[in-house]
Chain A
Amino acid sequence: MADTSSIKGDLRLSNITKTYGDFTAVNDLSLTIPEGSFFALLGPSGCGKTTTLRMVAGLEEPTKGTISLGNTDITYTKPYQRPINTVFQNYALFPHLSIFENIAFGLRRRGIKDVKPQVEKALELVELSHLAGRKPTQLSGGQQQRIALARAIVNRPALLLLDEPLGALDLKLRRQMQIELKWIQKEVGLTFVHVTHDQEEAMTMADTIAVMNEGEIEQLGSPADLYDNPKTAFVANFLGQSNLIKGTISGNDGDNHIVDLFGQKISLAKNRSHAVDNSILAGIRPEKFRISRLETATSGNLLTGGKIEDVSYIGVSTQYQVLMPWGQELMVFEQNDDAVAPFSVGENVNISWESGFTFALRGDEDAEAGMEVEPEEIIDEDE
């Protein structure tokens, strides 16, 4: 086997396209993942994220384009010749080998004689030293997940790929493992590339997220960037929830646009607009809104003429549906942290927010893109 352990550096995908017959799974995708980062590929089922991961792992060959690690082209390198390891979706632990032998597998293949110290260290890292002698089927889902992680990490790869690693776990265990994974990544200092359809999971763990849709990257950035200033309706809706209101840019005020939303004027920072002309979709996250009774004074942007349609109390916050004069229902999340009496259905109210929170998308976008997808319900992947 060629010695590839010295290959290091950023992972670079250049103009990668992968087609299966008429179907294009990945379309001209270019991407650089810096060494040492925790990178997430986020998207709904069928968006091409798993295909991308499999090409990086060497399990698929791209139809077009190149993949390189540092300065080495690895596009056509066999999986076993890449310093890249994968935590597989359903773990793919070898059922005929003990936990110890599962973890030792990669070390032995690379001709390392004394595997014991490294395997034991990996087991310690995932806190399962006492299970070394068992077979995979004797372990719980969460334990299998950790062993799959240990089996990959023990090889100290230049790049660790995680394919929906937590998909088979229940919610509580998943949250716990998210924190642990993040901690382990810091501890071992490896580059992690994480594929998931769970936006919360991606935001919790990753430094950088690439949101994928239909084989292309919609937007790339830090979790806060993506959330606060989404570029497309798909990102705005897939990452959390957004209120998107049709409007027109009607004037200028220094660094801000003056925007007309169905006859009411609001202000929008110019550097938060991704529109290409005067027609826009103004976006505001539901928790940024404040509801006020008609007589109350407000600051920032203001929309009047709302009427409470629905109230759901969910503990830390209350969610309101507010019907606006132009027929659109806006969603508002109010923290239950002040003395203002809760609003009741049928009350007439105004809505206000700090103008800095407004973002704007192209006016010709589908305001519902990315909404049909219910990320939590998708279990099967896009294979």
Chain B
Amino acid sequence: MKMSKSGISSPRTPYLLLLPGIGFLFTFFIWPIANLAQTSTQTPVAGGDTGSYEQTLRWRNYIDAFVENKEQFGRSFLYASLATILALAIAYPLAYAIAFKAGKLKNVLLVLVVAPFFTSFLLRTIAWKQILGEQGFVVPTLRSLHIIAPSTTLTSSAFAVVAGMTYNFLPFMTLPLYASIDRIDPRTLEASGDLYANGFTTFRKVTFPLSLPGVVAGTLLTFIPAAGDYVNAAILGSPETKMIGNVIDSRFFKIVDYPTAAALSFTLMAAILVLVTVYIRKAGTEELV
């Protein structure tokens, strides 16, 4: 690495460092996205084979794709929102406990939080399917205690899909929350108590606003992958719980309808980007009360 005498490196150094990685991302991230955009307005070649398309700039592909799948779109955003809210509700007290109440156990508990990462998420999701399935012990127990009706199942339902997503993204929510709660000076919380704020007010006026960066990061890390997920829906759901990811997947592989799949992908990405931008604006500038 060549650097100049003054201790500040030559102006070329950063570009040399960036070139390979940025070049790679341009080739295998930007270009594919551009290519996908290009595919999204194609139409089938008249009389051609399955899977052969030509560029006709047919923007109606977007409208057709959306209208045809608006239910799945709605479901994706609904499930993802529910999973995000549930994960936040579960992860916040957990992160708070690790940051402020764990003492010497802090590191052990952090390892336990990331432990699910160490086993395949598919294995864990399938484990839930089997635990909550007809042959697991939960359903028969609940039935014999008359907590659920004999015909009710826990899997193959919207409940199972949302629960699976909540579970799978919980560490993504917990870690950023922990990072920002851990950074709070406990003396500011004491100061709040000293200044006549009870526990709940201290949380609302001091703890939560100070942990906001973690809340934003955690909800984004949960919401974005959840909105595009189709694995939980495929394993834990039923045809009635299909999400937009399932549609894109089947358009690509089963129906070989690349333009529709591309248009759907683009719509999903755009919708997420818009939502995320609005959300960051809102969380970043306005005081959440």
Chief secondary structure at chain B's binding surface: helix
The reply to whether B198 and A105 form a contact with Cβ atoms under 8 Å apart is no
**A interface residues (Cβ-Cβ under 8 A, vs B):** 1, 57-59, 78-81, 84-86, 88-90, 92-96, 105-106, 109-110, 151-152, 155
Known: A79-B190, A95-B188, A105-B205. A85 touches B195 (CB 8 A): yes
* Closest chain B CB from A260 CB (angstroms): 55
The reply to whether B193 and A79 form a contact with Cβ atoms under 8 Å apart is yes
* Closest chain A CB from B182 CB (angstroms): 15
Q: Give the interface size class of chain B.
A: 10 to 19
Which one of A1, A92, A95, A106 lies within 8 Å of B190 (CB-CB)? A92
Which one of B185, B198, B201 lies within 8 Å of A92 (CB-CB)? B185
Work out how many contacts link A and B, with CB atoms closer than 8 A. 71
B191 interface contact, C-beta 8 A: yes
Which one of A1, A85, A93, A96 lies within 8 Å of B194 (CB-CB)? A85
Which one of A58, A94, A110, A152 lies within 8 Å of B193 (CB-CB)? A58
Which one of A59, A95, A109 lies within 8 Å of B195 (CB-CB)? A109
* Closest chain B CB from A161 CB (angstroms): 8
Complex CA–CA separation, A96 to B206 (angstroms):
8
Complex CA–CA separation, A1 to B193 (angstroms):
12
The reply to whether B197 and A109 form a contact with Cβ atoms under 8 Å apart is yes
The reply to whether B195 and A106 form a contact with Cβ atoms under 8 Å apart is yes
Known: A105-B205, A109-B201. A95 touches B193 (CB 8 A): no
Q: Tell me which of B191, B195, B212 has the highest count of chain A C-beta atoms within 10 A of its own C-beta.
A: B195
The reply to whether B187 and A106 form a contact with Cβ atoms under 8 Å apart is no
The reply to whether A105 and B195 form a contact with Cβ atoms under 8 Å apart is yes
Which one of A94, A109, A155 lies within 8 Å of B188 (CB-CB)? A94
27 residue pairs bridging A and B, Cβ less than 8 Å apart: A1-B196, A57-B194, A58-B193, A59-B193, A78-B193, A79-B190, A79-B193, A80-B198, A85-B194, A85-B195, A86-B191, A88-B190, A88-B194, A90-B187, A92-B188, A92-B190, A92-B191, A93-B191, A94-B188, A95-B188, A96-B212, A105-B192, A105-B197, A109-B195, A151-B195, A152-B195, A155-B196
Complex CA–CA separation, A155 to B192 (angstroms):
13
Known: A89-B187, A92-B190, A94-B191. A80 touches B210 (CB 8 A): no
CB nearest neighbor in A for B206: A94
Apart from A92-B188, A105-B195, A105-B197, list 16 A-B contacts with CB within 8 A: A59-B190, A59-B193, A59-B194, A79-B193, A80-B198, A86-B191, A89-B187, A92-B190, A92-B191, A93-B188, A93-B191, A94-B206, A96-B206, A96-B210, A105-B192, A151-B195
Complex CA–CA separation, A288 to B210 (angstroms):
56
Complex CA–CA separation, A92 to B185 (angstroms):
7
B116 interface contact, C-beta 8 A: no
- Give the chain B neighbours of A57 by CB distance below 8 A: 190, 194
* Closest chain A CB from B138 CB (angstroms): 41
B133 interface contact, C-beta 8 A: no
- Give the chain A neighbours of B188 by CB distance below 8 A: 92-95
- Give the chain B neighbours of A155 by CB distance below 8 A: 195-196
* Closest chain A CB from B213 CB (angstroms): 10
- Give the chain B neighbours of A110 by CB distance below 8 A: 196
B209 interface contact, C-beta 8 A: yes
- Give the chain B neighbours of A79 by CB distance below 8 A: 190, 193-194
Complex CA–CA separation, A62 to B86 (angstroms):
39
CB nearest neighbor in A for B198: A80
* Closest chain A CB from B189 CB (angstroms): 8
